[in-house]
């Protein structure tokens, strides 16, 4: 099951790299969901005030959505690095995407501290665990 945090993360990451709006097709492809399911979730997120959705154009995060997604992204970065560096998982980013919305800020902070103690420096998308901690 794909959750709201996963959709927010995909829109956030795509808008950081390619500008906005993010097409529903891109979101559907990344999450391996049908276009109909993706459209339904984007409309639900719009109803909650987290993004603005225009059919056939795409989704744009609202200020509240951007703030929520940025927090999720920090968790995603920390988990991705932990899964890669410590657990040596085959697809750490997919695992992190799956779990980012389920992990508390305290757990994220503790995992980041553990990684820093292991002298982990670089993470995905050019982010570092140190920079994630500094924003907390």
Detail the DSSP E strand segments found in the chain. 51-54, 58-61
Residues 90 and 83: their CA atoms lie apart, in Å, by 9
Residues 74 and 24: their CA atoms lie apart, in Å, by 23
- Residue 134, both tokens: 């500094």
- Per-residue pLDDT of 90-132, as tens digits, reads 999 999 999 999 999 999 999 988 888 775 445 455 565 555 5
**Start-to-end CA span in the chain (Å):** 29
Query: What is the model's pLDDT at position 133?
Result: 57
User: What pTM, to 2 d.p., does this model score?
Assistant: 0.79
Query: What is the model's pLDDT at position 93?
Result: 94
Q: Between 135 and 26, name the one with better pLDDT.
A: 26
- Specify the fold of 4-61: Arc Repressor Mutant, subunit A (1.10.10)
- Per-residue pLDDT of 50-89, as tens digits, reads 999 998 889 999 999 999 999 999 999 999 999 998 899 9
For 78-90, b/e burial (b = at least 16 CB within 10 A) is bbbbbbbbeeeee
Query: What is the model's pLDDT at position 58?
Result: 92
Query: What is the model's pLDDT at position 120?
Result: 44
- Residue 31, both tokens: 């999450």
- What ranges do the domains of the chain cover? 4-61, 70-135
Query: What is the model's pLDDT at position 136?
Result: 53
Query: What is the model's pLDDT at position 74?
Result: 94
Query: What is the model's pLDDT at position 132?
Result: 58
């Amino acid at each position: 099951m794909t959750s709201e945090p996963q959709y927010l993360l995909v829109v956030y990451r795509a808008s950081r790299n390619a500008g906005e709006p993010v097409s529903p097709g891109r979101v559907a492809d990344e999450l391996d969901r049908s276009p109909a399911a993706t459209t339904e979730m984007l409309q639900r997120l719009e109803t909650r005030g987290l993004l603005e959705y225009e059919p056939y154009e795409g989704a744009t995060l609202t200020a509240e959505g951007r703030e929520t997604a940025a927090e999720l992204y920090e968790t995603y970065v920390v988990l991705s690095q932990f899964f890669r560096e410590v657990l040596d998982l085959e697809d750490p980013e997919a695992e992190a995407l799956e779990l980012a919305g389920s992990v508390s800020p305290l757990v994220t902070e503790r995992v980041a501290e553990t990684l820093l103690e292991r002298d982990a420096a670089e993470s995905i998308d050019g982010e570092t665990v140190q920079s994630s901690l500094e924003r907390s």
